[in-house]
Amino acid sequence: MLEPIFVKHGVSVVLTGHDHIYERIKPQQGIYHWVVGSSGSLRKGDLTRTSMTEKGYDQDYVFMLVEIAGDDFHFAALSRTGAVIESGVVSRPHVAEPSPSPQPTPKPTLAPPPPSPSPVAAPSPSPSPKPSPSPSPKKVPRKVKRG
Taking only the tens of pLDDT, the chain with its 147 residues reads 899 999 999 999 999 988 888 999 999 999 999 999 887 777 887 888 999 999 999 899 999 999 999 999 999 999 999 999 999 999 988 765 655 655 554 444 344 444 545 454 544 554 545 554 555 555 555 555 555
* CATH for 13: 3.60.21.10
- Count structural domains, the chain: 1
Q: Could you give the dihedral angle defined by the CA atoms of residues 72, 76, 77 and 81, in that order, rounded to the nearest 10 degrees?
A: -160
pLDDT computed for residue 48 by the predictor: 86
pLDDT computed for residue 112 by the predictor: 46
Q: Is 127 inside a domain boundary?
A: no
Q: Is 22 inside a domain boundary?
A: yes
Q: Is 105 inside a domain boundary?
A: no
CB burial of residue 36 (10 Å; 0-12, 13-18, 19+):
buried
pLDDT computed for residue 67 by the predictor: 96
Q: Is 109 inside a domain boundary?
A: no
Q: Is 118 inside a domain boundary?
A: no
Pairwise CA distance, residues 145 & 147, whole Å: 6
pLDDT computed for residue 69 by the predictor: 95
CB burial of residue 62 (10 Å; 0-12, 13-18, 19+):
buried
Q: Is 102 inside a domain boundary?
A: no
- Among candidate residues 69, 75, 78, the one with its CA nearest the CA of residue 14: 75
| In contact, 75 and 88? CB cutoff 8 Å | yes
pLDDT computed for residue 99 by the predictor: 55
